[in-house]
Structure 1
Amino acid sequence: MQGSVVVMMMMMAVSGAHVLSADEAEGEIWAVLVAGSFGWLNYRHQADVCHAYQILHSHGVPDDHIIVMMVDDIAYNRANPTPGKIINRPDGPDVYEGVPKDYTGNDVTPENFMKILKGDADGLRDVGSGKVLKSGPKDRVFVNLVDHGAPDIFGFPKSFLHARNLSDTILAMHRNRQYKEMLVYLESCESGSMYKYLPDDIGVYALSASNASQPSFACYNDLHLHTFLGDVFSVKWMEDTDRNNPKETLKQQFLKVRREVNTSHVLQWGEKSLASQKVSKFLGSSSDEGDDYGPFLPIRDPCLNSSVSSEDVPLATLQSHLDNATEQDDIDYWNQQISELQQNRTLVEDTMRKLVERVTGDVEVSEQLMTDRHHTSTRHDCYADSLNAFHSRCFNLGTNPYALRVVYVMVNLCEHGYTAKEFDGATSVLCNYPPIHGIN
């Protein structure tokens, strides 16, 4: 077989045909890694992204081909007992060392993310490192997004990315021949909704941590750090990659991760035939044996046994503080923190209820719309405009993550024929208070 290949190449050379080198045939690997949150309670999002970087780096993908977006307020956070270190599993290795600080702080925005993907270097001049994708038609691109989410949106520190804008950006990349094939792994609540506009014939294969109406789940509740270290879907695909060094195909990884993630429905999207490709085509390869995580059987899986839904993380974290408090002053303090958390969440829910009642003029109909979660958004402009009104007037969806838990009600309003203009009018009357931040 090898001899026939050599003969064929010689014949092509004699005939004047161009013989592809290995580099020309395979192209290069590029990656964009995004943690869209901030704050110690969201430690896990930056830990996930840092771990993803370590996988790519250790598998030979050069740093100038890896672009990282994260606020970068965890490693040296005053709550961190080991300054300069981030871990993604209990007693795990530091995943922060060497991570490129391409876009941090206020530079972590959906607009900058889309410019990075489109290769818009002029648009990012004097912003962060200025790095953008310089991939071409022979290259493979890996995109990893980790944060909070809601129907059709993915969170950023002060705003959010629409599903339609994500797909439009990928379509522009395809049109401009910026990749041969692309892999997207997205971790957030309702993450399946982010792929609703993704075509299945443009060389993009994608996984979501959950379907379009489910939360994603956090895991590894560290009682020393008092935060969750990872997200179940992210932990599962990365620890699988660490163990398998990535010799398996994308389909094999999907099936394994889908089986192990019993907290939500991991789904595949896009051009599913690409699942026959090796994971190494997108994440690089290494001759190392990989990390030994041990045989995690479901009955004693340390990730799954510590998992909670993303929206329950703040309460679970405060409860762990309370459970470990021994002095009465500390007990009183953590009880007060829990009470304030619940009061703030009630404020969000009550505000949405009042908005719906003002739009519908009917308490009974309003209660139905508040409890019904099965609708899929089809009236896209209505939903998008309503979201913008709620985000700009009532609760910033980046700085108040719990507000993401009630935006499904706007989907319901739109699907029942109410208009964005009616909802906008309600927000202008009822959301006349100073900006509120930090409702988790």
Structure 2
Amino acid sequence: MGFAPQVEYLKSNMSSRSSYVCGYGTFLFLIALLSFIAQSQEGILNSIRASNLPSRIRKDSTTAEEKQWAVLVAGSAGYENYRHQADVCHAYQILKKGGLKDENIVVFMYDDIAFHVDNPRPGTIINKPFGHDVYAGVPKDYTGDNCTVDNLFAVLLGNKSALTGGSGKVIDSGPNDNIFIYYADHGAPGLVGMPVGKDLYAKDLIEVFRKQREASSYKRLVFYLEACESGTMFEGLLPSNWSIYAITAANGEESSNGVYCPEFYPHPPSEFSTCLGDVRRRTGFDYEYTSHVMQYGNMELSKELLSLYIGTNAANDNYTGNSNMETWSLARAFDQREATLLHFLHKYQKAPDGSAKKAEAHRDLLGIHSHIRHVDRSINHIAATLFGDENAANAMKFVRPSGQPLVDDWDCLKELVRAYEKQCGGLSWYGKKYTRVIANMCNAGINVEQMMGASTRACSHEIDKN
């Protein structure tokens, strides 16, 4: 296949459906909770001020003061994923303005964006067009090779002895404290990524929550997750009688979306080749193609004051959203995987003809195209081998009923993913969308030996290493 058809292939992939503004970023946590709270307490948040807060959480309270803790996680690395670290930096600025202290905010991000060679504004990060720098002052708690799932678990559990590198900061919370977790990343059915090492699987996250609960390390915990298929991290797993409330950007079957992407309104400054972040508006609000904000866990917490988690800042008190709905309805958003493709395509198109940058971008696009074809073909081949040609299509698209977890045996899911990757190479940001197919294999009784055999046959030819 020549290169021009490959570019057209990538373009057609990204324009196969007209998806409009439907992702949401850090500030959306505020908007989503405002929406849910308004159903039972209409107008209450518009009048919140520190002086109006209940006595149990006011600074002059005679009772034990509730501390606010936050963990902010960007689960990706690479300039093409600029938006994830931008959203985490933005979240930090909101919390800082809300009065949270750095000692109570723990930040995980690879930190390769601000000074990346492709960043047209070295040392700064923005998360929207005409936006201010959100990178300044952000704590460098766990960056680079220290940005791992094991360190994240150690932080959440307050276990300093389990840390490997980083600032050593953990959530040292108690039974009167509130914890807010924000996580932005590429997602997949049953997992979200981390920049280094192992992925974060849903069952392992729930187990950490269980340990926190047994240790009485929080009074309330709110988790905001911006990732594709993010509903699978909590669906059928998070008990409703724990004091934990989760909001996800998407249900278990759909992509989350990025916006402020090159050449699509509202576009970033012309010098940027990547999507800057996610939109402020709630997904599914007024657009034809949307993802769906989902709630899990203890619904009573949706009635609580937002200030319990992000502090009090007068600038947030009367936020009513963007009133210019006609303007926003023209905006174009991309699902997380399309947004990554768009970066590499735009980088190729903008590079000067005959330049070294053009050649490099050419190689990147070739590698991406080769990887996509390799994963698509290998997974389809494996499904046909394990289920038969007549049943493979159903195995590829089957979704369990609402309320059920993605898979019954999470260890099986991990083992089958490892078996595939051993024989066929890493799934990466693109291939992880097939973890539901692998989960269906587990639910059908497929074991590691069968997966190894099918993967070996499917990938016996040259494996794409990209």
**2:75 counterpart of 1:36:** yes
Q: Which letter does structure 1 place at the counterpart of 2:433?
A: R
**2:322 counterpart of 1:295:** yes
Q: How many angstroms does 1:320 deviate by?
A: 3.1
In structure 2, what is the Cα distance between the partners aligned to 1:289 and 1:277? 16
Q: How many angstroms does 1:334 deviate by?
A: 5.6
In structure 2, what is the Cα distance between the partners aligned to 1:47 and 1:291? 24
2:127 to 88, 91, 112: 88
1:99 to 138, 144, 150: 138
8 Å Cα contact 1:193-1:212 kept in structure 2? yes
Q: Which residue of 2 aligns with 1:412?
A: 440
In structure 1, what is the Cα distance between the partners aligned to 2:364 and 2:102? 42
**2:399 counterpart of 1:374:** yes
Q: Deviations over 1:128-184 (max 9, x none)?
A: 001110010001000011111111111112321111111110111111010010110
**1:429–1:94 distance in 2 versus 1, CA, 3 Å:** same
In structure 2, what is the Cα distance between the partners aligned to 1:293 and 1:40? 32
**1:260–1:156 distance in 2 versus 1, CA, 3 Å:** farther
Q: Which letter does structure 2 place at the counterpart of 1:231?
A: D
1:218 to 253, 258, 268: 258
Give secondary structure in 2 for the equivalent of 1:134: coil
Q: How does 1:269-308 map to 2 (within 5 A)?
A: 269-288=296-315, 295-301=322-328, 305-308=331-334
- Which has the larger helix fraction? 1
Q: How many angstroms does 1:315 deviate by?
A: 2.5
Which segments of structure 1 move beyond 6 Å, counting only runs of 4 or more?
A: 289-294, 328-333, 432-435
**1:108–1:331 distance in 2 versus 1, CA, 3 Å:** closer
> Which one has more relative contact order, counting CA pairs under 8 Å at least 6 apart?
2
1:352 to 350, 368, 379: 379
In structure 1, what is the Cα distance between the partners aligned to 2:419 and 2:408? 16
| Number of positions where the alignment pairs a residue of Structure 1 with one of Structure 2 | 393
Q: Which residue of 2 aligns with 1:15?
A: none
8 Å Cα contact 1:145-1:186 kept in structure 2? yes
Q: Which letter does structure 2 place at the counterpart of 1:305?
A: A
8 Å Cα contact 1:218-1:310 kept in structure 2? yes
Q: How does 1:229-240 map to 2 (within 5 A)?
A: 229-232=276-279, 235-236=280-281
Identity of aligned pairs, percent?
33
Q: How many angstroms does 1:353 deviate by?
A: 2.1
Q: How many angstroms does 1:328 deviate by?
A: 7.1
In structure 1, what is the Cα distance between the partners aligned to 2:459 and 2:391? 21
Q: Which residue of 2 aligns with 1:203?
A: 243
Q: Which residue of 2 aligns with 1:386?
A: 416
**2:103 counterpart of 1:64:** yes
**1:113–1:332 distance in 2 versus 1, CA, 3 Å:** closer
Give secondary structure in 1 for the equivalent of 2:247: strand
| TM-score, normalization by structure 2 | 0.77
In structure 2, what is the Cα distance between the partners aligned to 1:343 and 1:407? 20
8 Å Cα contact 2:247-2:293 kept in structure 1? yes
Q: How many angstroms does 1:349 deviate by?
A: 1.0
In structure 2, what is the Cα distance between the partners aligned to 1:348 and 1:289? 44
**2:170 counterpart of 1:132:** yes
Q: Which residue of 2 aligns with 1:172?
A: 211
Q: Deviations over 1:390-434 (max 9, x none)?
A: 24443334xx21111222221232333433431133335555689
| TM-score, normalization by structure 1 | 0.81
Q: Deviations over 1:49-69 (max 9, x none)?
A: 010000011111000000000
Q: Which residue of 1 aligns with 2:150?
A: 111
8 Å Cα contact 2:68-2:179 kept in structure 1? yes
Q: Which residue of 2 aligns with 1:246?
A: none
1:144 to 182, 185, 191: 182
Q: How many angstroms does 1:109 deviate by?
A: 1.2
Q: Which residue of 2 aligns with 1:265?
A: 292
Q: How many angstroms does 1:377 deviate by?
A: 2.6
8 Å Cα contact 1:377-1:415 kept in structure 2? no
**2:275 counterpart of 1:228:** yes
In structure 1, what is the Cα distance between the partners aligned to 2:284 and 2:222? 17
8 Å Cα contact 1:377-1:383 kept in structure 2? no
In structure 2, what is the Cα distance between the partners aligned to 1:29 and 1:22? 15
**1:296–1:336 distance in 2 versus 1, CA, 3 Å:** farther
Q: Which letter does structure 2 place at the counterpart of 1:230?
A: G
Q: Which letter does structure 1 place at the counterpart of 2:376?
A: E
Q: Deviations over 1:220-265 (max 9, x none)?
A: 1134210001134xx44xxxxxxxxxxxxxxxxxxx5652686201
8 Å Cα contact 2:370-2:464 kept in structure 1? no
Structure 2: gaps spanning 5 or more residues: 1-54, 262-267
Larger radius of gyration between Structure 1 and Structure 2: 1
Q: Which residue of 1 aligns with 2:18?
A: none
**1:393–1:58 distance in 2 versus 1, CA, 3 Å:** farther
Q: Which residue of 2 aligns with 1:316?
A: 342
Q: How many angstroms does 1:319 deviate by?
A: 3.6
Q: Which residue of 1 aligns with 2:17?
A: none
Q: Which letter does structure 2 place at the counterpart of 1:377?
A: L
In structure 2, what is the Cα distance between the partners aligned to 1:327 and 1:363? 46
Structure 1: gaps spanning 5 or more residues: 1-8, 10-19, 237-255
1:188 to 227, 237, 255: 227
In structure 2, what is the Cα distance between the partners aligned to 1:193 and 1:287? 35
Give secondary structure in 1 for the equivalent of 2:221: strand
Q: CA RMSD in A?
A: 2.9
8 Å Cα contact 2:142-2:166 kept in structure 1? yes
8 Å Cα contact 2:423-2:452 kept in structure 1? no
